[in-house]
A = this chain, B = another copy of it.
Amino acid sequence: MSDDTKTRILDAAERLFADSGIDATSLRAITAEAGANLAAVNYHFGSKEALVGEVYGRRIDPLNRERIDRLHAALRDAGDGVPSLPAIVEAFVAPAMLAMQDPDAGRTFIRLVGRAHTEASTDVRRIVFTRFQDVALAFQKALARALPQLDRSTVQARFKFMIGAMAYAMTDPTACAGPTERDVRRSLDRLVRFLVGGLEAPTGEEK
């Protein structure tokens, strides 16, 4: 059921973390928002750090799974040929951007994920990046196939630029002006076109 205490705590923590950051959000604020007792967090999750892990894990895993699924579909379409760069880019950024119109997970969590990429805390970075590493490697490999003219360190650098642009777009509340599907689609389209242009830009070293 959805008014389970554990679920209410997760929802409240997710919202408050996204608004104010993790360090700045106290367990007392979370339990007050969730209508639960302060001790309920330690009872259900063991510690605040474990709660943070569950807040992220609950949504990150499906997100990364969708990224991988879309990537495999794009690679399958290419067969033995060169895979489509826009398809790879969209496989990477679309799951996150489209989740913004999900009224349940919604923008709240997307801002949280976007922020995780730049969060100061070592614990948070570890939580998120261990779940992200496989995805990152798979996409770097696909990008290298789609961009055979680029050497590997350039692909790595440009992949990081892509993460940065996407993460910032996710944290920026004005990036997706409206909650309608049209608005999100347009933001996604803009981001994909920008990233494709940047990824396939000439390096100045070739030829």
List residues of A whose CB falls within 8 A of some B CB: 20-24, 114-115, 117-121, 154, 157-158, 160-169, 171-172, 175, 187, 189-191, 193-204
Q: CB-CB < 8 A to A119: which residues of B?
A: 21
**What is the CB-to-nearest-CB distance from A41 to chain B, in angstroms, rounded to a whole number?**
19
Secondary structure of the A side of the interface?
Answer: helix
Closest to A170 in B: B164
Which residue on chain B has the smallest CB distance to residue A116?
A: B118
- State the number of copies, please: 2
The docked-state distance in angstroms from the alpha carbon of A161 to that of B118 is 15
Chosen A-B contacts, 29 in total, with CB atoms closer than 8 Å, are A20-B120, A21-B23, A21-B119, A21-B121, A23-B23, A23-B24, A24-B121, A115-B118, A118-B171, A157-B190, A158-B190, A158-B194, A160-B169, A161-B191, A161-B194, A161-B195, A164-B167, A164-B168, A164-B169, A165-B168, A168-B168, A193-B201, A193-B204, A194-B198, A194-B199, A196-B201, A197-B199, A197-B202, A198-B198
Nearest chain B CB to A35's CB is how many angstroms away?
Answer: 24
A202 / chain B contacts, CB cutoff of 8 Å: 193, 197
Q: Is the CB of B157 within 8 A of A168?
A: no
The answer to whether A168 touches B118 (Cβ under 8 A) is: yes
User: Which 3 pairs across A and B sit closest by C-beta, in order of nearness?
Assistant: A164-B168, A197-B201, A21-B120
